[in-house]
């Protein structure tokens, strides 16, 4: 008979399983709960309802994106010469600049880019030269002045001799001996040889979509050989009544390759990189129906990449 059966107490040092102290929680359960919670949260945030960033202020961008944004500002200024707009954009993107000088900030960005592989391409080199021209005209300087050679390339000039026309001599009674030719003088002229323009970008892809949120947009992507975005590239859209020019990289939240244009219904448009690519086929802004049954204007996505 046990001690319990006889009404006695347990022997010293022994414990009943019913009298063991309970633990407040289980470490294994806690760890499993954390893993399940984190995994479920990541799946929801990335797969079900991913966060889309809108209305990002330029000064909130990373250092690399701010530099690309300033490249686009300098190229835009080189195209339209609007100094006030360029200064306003620089003030916005350098809102938190420690020295308070937006033009010197652009010179510093050009210096940073000039010390990297950004200058290995002709487009990158031209972009930094546009930045140099901008800040030098405003009396600023930077290390890019010593790192980037001044562009002195120009067309070859060929000198040739052209005959100078000689007026007809007045009539005389003395006939000109047969076989004698009138004397002619020569003069020099400079002739600049012409060659067909070189197209360094090719339109590689045009796709369509139907989206109520992006209704009627032409989305342009300019990429390098590796598919990386190239900011500061001028894009031109033409239609029967006119044209519009803009640059890649001015919407950093969409990436350095990106630029867009809003179409009007039932009009036809062509897209090109002026002087650097051939124009696209006509893109017509026709109506379409989204998957949810909404009516919208067709969306075009146009991709340019280097030729070769």
127 with 206, same domain: the answer is no
CA 35 to chain centre: 40
Any domain includes 301:
yes
pLDDT tens digits, 191-209: 444 444 457 899 999 999 9
Four-CA torsion 69, 70, 74, 75, nearest 10 degrees: -20
138 and 66 in a single domain? The answer is yes
Q: Is residue 192 part of a domain?
A: no
Cα maximum dimension of the chain? 168
Task: For 103-156, write each residue's pLDDT tens digit.
Answer: 888 889 999 888 888 888 888 888 888 899 889 888 888 888 888 876 533 334
Mean pLDDT for 273-301 is 92
pLDDT at 171: 54
Per-residue CA distances from 250 to 36, 68, 74, 123, 201 (Å): 40, 9, 11, 16, 20
Domain count, the chain: 2
Q: Domain check: are 212 and 143 in the same one?
A: no
Please report whether residue 35 resides in a domain. no
Is 206 found in the same domain as 132?
Answer: no
Q: What percent of the chain has pLDDT over 70?
A: 72
| Kind plus residue range of the DSSP H or E element containing 66 | helix 63-80
Last residue of a domain, one of 106, 132, 147: 147
Q: At which of 147, 177, 212 does a domain end?
A: 147
CATH of the domain at 264: 2.60.40.1120
In a domain, 185, yes or no: no
The range of the structural domain enclosing residue 123 comes to 58-147
Is 45 within a domain? Answer: no
Tens-place pLDDT, residues 218-269: 999 999 988 899 999 999 999 998 999 999 998 888 999 999 999 999 999 9
Indicate whether 250 belongs to any domain. yes
What pLDDT is recorded for position 150? Answer: 60
| pLDDT at residue number 192 | 44
pTM recorded for the entire structure: 0.47
Q: Which of 84, 113, 147 is the endpoint of a domain? A: 147
Determine the pLDDT at residue 188: 44
Q: What is the predicted pLDDT for the residue at 160?
A: 41
Q: Which residue has the tokens 């031209």?
A: 126
Residue 41 lies in a domain: no
- Mean predicted lDDT score pLDDT of the chain: 78
Instruction: Find out whether 78 and 133 touch, Cβ atoms under 8 Å.
Output: yes
141 domain residue, yes or no: yes
């Amino acid at each position: 008979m046990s001690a319990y059966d006889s009404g006695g107490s347990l022997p010293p040092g022994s414990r009943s399983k019913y009298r063991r102290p309970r633990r407040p929680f289980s470490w294994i359960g806690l760890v499993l709960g954390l893993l399940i919670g984190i995994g479920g949260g990541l799946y929801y945030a990335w797969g079900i309802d991913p966060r889309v960033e809108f209305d990002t202020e330029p000064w909130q961008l990373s250092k690399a994106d701010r530099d690309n944004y300033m490249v686009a500002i300098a190229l835009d200024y080189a195209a339209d010469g609007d100094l006030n707009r360029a200064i306003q954009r620089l003030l916005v993107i350098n809102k938190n600049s420690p020295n308070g000088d937006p033009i010197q900030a652009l010179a510093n960005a050009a210096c940073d880019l000039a010390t990297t592989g950004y200058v290995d391409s002709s487009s990158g080199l031209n972009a930094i030269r546009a930045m140099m021209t901008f800040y030098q005209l405003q009396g600023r300087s930077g290390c890019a002045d010593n790192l980037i050679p001044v562009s002195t390339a120009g067309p070859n000039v060929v000198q040739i001799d052209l005959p100078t026309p000689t007026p007809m001599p007045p009539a005389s009674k003395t006939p000109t001996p047969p076989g004698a030719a009138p004397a002619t003088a020569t003069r020099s002229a400079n002739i600049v040889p012409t060659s067909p323009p070189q197209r360094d970008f090719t339109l590689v892809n045009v796709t369509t979509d139907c989206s109520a949120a992006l209704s009627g947009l032409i989305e342009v992507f300019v990429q390098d050989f590796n598919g990386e975005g190239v900011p500061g590239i001028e894009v031109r859209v033409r239609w029967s009544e006119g044209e519009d020019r803009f640059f890649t990289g001015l919407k950093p939240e969409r990436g350095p390759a990106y630029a867009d244009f809003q179409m009007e219904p039932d009009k036809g448009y062509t897209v090109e990189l002026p002087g650097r690519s051939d124009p696209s086929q006509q893109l017509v802004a026709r109506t379409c129906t989204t998957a949810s049954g909404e009516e919208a204007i067709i969306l075009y996505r146009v991709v340019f990449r280097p030729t070769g």
